[in-house]
């Protein structure tokens, strides 16, 4: 899998390069600004990107704007935002564009290398990997379809947004896998997700959550 790293910290960029290279990824480039990143994406040969939010020259939101631009150039390009900050406006647009293949992890909260690698693999496969703190800042509107869900169903959906499987959700919430399966079925029904679209309903449910 060919990955581009977009990170202005030389130390962190080198660390990510080494980590991904030794974990079976091919790092095709490491850049510290949006323009060269977008040029690489436009030229093709990129399977996924790990992008920081605050990049030169203003160190505000260049990274997440570049991620959005990259996904316009290559629809559905898997992007994992890896940052210390939550940029709410552009983050919401990125996470809820309806295509999947997105993640948003906070640097200070990734405590294990394996968790980061697993998150990148989920995103590259078209899934999601969202830090709970990011979810907490993208608050739910009162007119959201999520108001139809019970507290437990919301809790299950939040775990789905983090990329957890049914078995992992069951273990975390200390319930049976059968109970999780039932809750997810209720979530799909209440969010009006087509039963015939079973292969994508999980991602669509998460995107509905984030879009709200």
Structural domains in the chain plus CATH codes:
2-137 (3.40.50.2300), 145-211 (1.10.10.10)
Question: What phi and psi, each to the nearest 5 degrees, are found at residue 48?
Answer: -165, 165
- Please report the pLDDT score of residue 79 as a whole number: 95
Residues 67-120 have pLDDT tens digits of 999 999 998 899 999 988 877 767 777 776 667 788 899 998 888 899 899 999
Cβ 126 vs Cβ 78: under 8 Å:
yes
**In terms of pLDDT, which residue wins out, 142 or 187?**
187
Q: What ranges in 74-150 are assigned the alpha helix state H?
A: 88-95, 113-124, 132-137
Task: Give residue 138's pLDDT band: very low, low, confident or very high (50, 70, 90).
Answer: low
Which DSSP state fits 113? H
| H/E run at residue 205 | helix 201-211
> Beta-carbon neighbour count of residue 72 at 10 Å?
12
Q: Would you say the C-alpha torsion 197, 75, 49, 107 has a positive or negative sign?
A: negative
Stated pTM of the model: 0.68
Mean pLDDT (whole number) for 125-134: 84
- Please report the pLDDT score of residue 35 as a whole number: 94
| Rounded CA separation 139/211 (Å) | 10
Mean pLDDT (whole number) for 147-165: 84
Residue 142: pLDDT over 50: no
**In terms of pLDDT, which residue wins out, 27 or 131?**
27
- Please report the pLDDT score of residue 193 as a whole number: 74
Residues 34-82 have pLDDT tens digits of 999 999 999 988 999 999 988 988 888 889 889 999 999 998 899 999 9
Residues 172-212 have pLDDT tens digits of 899 999 999 999 888 888 887 765 555 466 776 776 666 65
């Amino acid at each position: 899998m060919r990955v581009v790293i977009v990170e202005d910290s030389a130390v962190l960029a080198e660390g990510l390069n080494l980590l991904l290279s030794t974990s079976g990824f091919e790092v095709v480039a490491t850049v510290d600004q949006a323009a060269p990143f977008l040029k690489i994406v436009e030229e093709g040969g990129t399977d996924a990107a790990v992008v920081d939010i605050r990049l030169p020259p203003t160190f505000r939101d260049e990274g997440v704007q570049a991620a959005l631009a990259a996904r316009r150039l290559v629809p559905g390009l898997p992007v994992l935002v890896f940052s210390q900050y939550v940029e709410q406006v552009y983050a919401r647009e990125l996470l809820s564009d309806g295509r999947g293949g997105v993640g948003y992890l906070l640097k200070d909260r990734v405590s294990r290398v394996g968790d980061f690698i697993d998150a990148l693999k989920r995103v590259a496969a078209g899934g999601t990997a969202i830090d709970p703190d990011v979810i907490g800042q993208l608050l739910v509107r009162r007119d959201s379809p999520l108001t139809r869900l019970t507290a437990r169903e919301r809790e299950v959906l939040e775990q789905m947004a983090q990329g957890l499987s049914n078995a992992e959700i069951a273990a975390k919430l200390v319930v049976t896998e059968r109970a999780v399966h039932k809750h997810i079925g209720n979530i799909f029904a209440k969010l009006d997700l087509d039963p015939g679209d079973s292969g994508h309903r999980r991602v669509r449910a998460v995107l509905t959550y984030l879009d709200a």
